[in-house]
Amino acid sequence: MKYNTARNQLILPEYGRHVQKMVEYATTLESKEDRNKCVNAIINFMGQMNPQLRDIKEYTHKLWDHLYIMSNFQIDATSPYPIPEIEKLQEKPKRMAYPNNKIRFPFYGAALENMIKHAVTLEENREKEIMTGMIANHMKKSYLLFNKHSVSNDTIKLHLQQLSDGKLKLADDFEFIRSESVVTRPNRVYKKKFKKKR
């Protein structure tokens, strides 16, 4: 019995050992005509693993790329697509820069701070007033989702003042959303229903 540890390592394990053996066999064929026939049969077999994607052009291109990779780029066959470059496949992705956003109140998030920065630039009119109110209500929702308890409207006003450097002010007749509309308390509802049944 031959164990997998004694066999060649699978280059693309998702296709299994049978497909890799077929590819290895195709590379040994001397006649290019025979190689092309064999390679096309292998491509069709690989496509049967995901029949819903078999006829999509990009997927067929992907299969040909995988065939070349499994042959260690040793196979000489007529491909309808350009042969993938080894250098590009071995190329490491560029390091992504980590955002250095210093969020003053993490529970509001960076998006809300950007909204406040935009609102500050608006002219003093009804639009700015409406947007400030929407920001304040959004802040209250975010705070309640983070804290799960009631929050003082004065706290939200203070945070809005701090985040906008005092440039955003709520209208005198502005009313905050009720905390009950944001925070759900299923335990109380369950208790009420249970009392009614008794």
The 10s digit of each residue's pLDDT in 119-162 is: 999 999 999 999 999 999 999 999 988 877 778 999 999 999 99
Structural domain harbouring 154: 110-185
Contact status, residue 79 vs residue 54, Cβ threshold 8 Å: no
Global pTM value: 0.49
Tell me how long the chain is: 198
Structural element, H or E, at residue 63: helix 57-70
- Are 73 and 122 part of one and the same domain? no
- Are 175 and 115 part of one and the same domain? yes
Residue 190 falls within a domain, yes or no?
no
Residue 194 falls within a domain, yes or no?
no
Per-residue model confidence as pLDDT tens digits over 155-189: 999 999 999 999 999 988 899 988 887 766 555 54
HSE-CB at 139 with a 13 A cutoff on CA atoms is 28
- Are 121 and 175 part of one and the same domain? yes
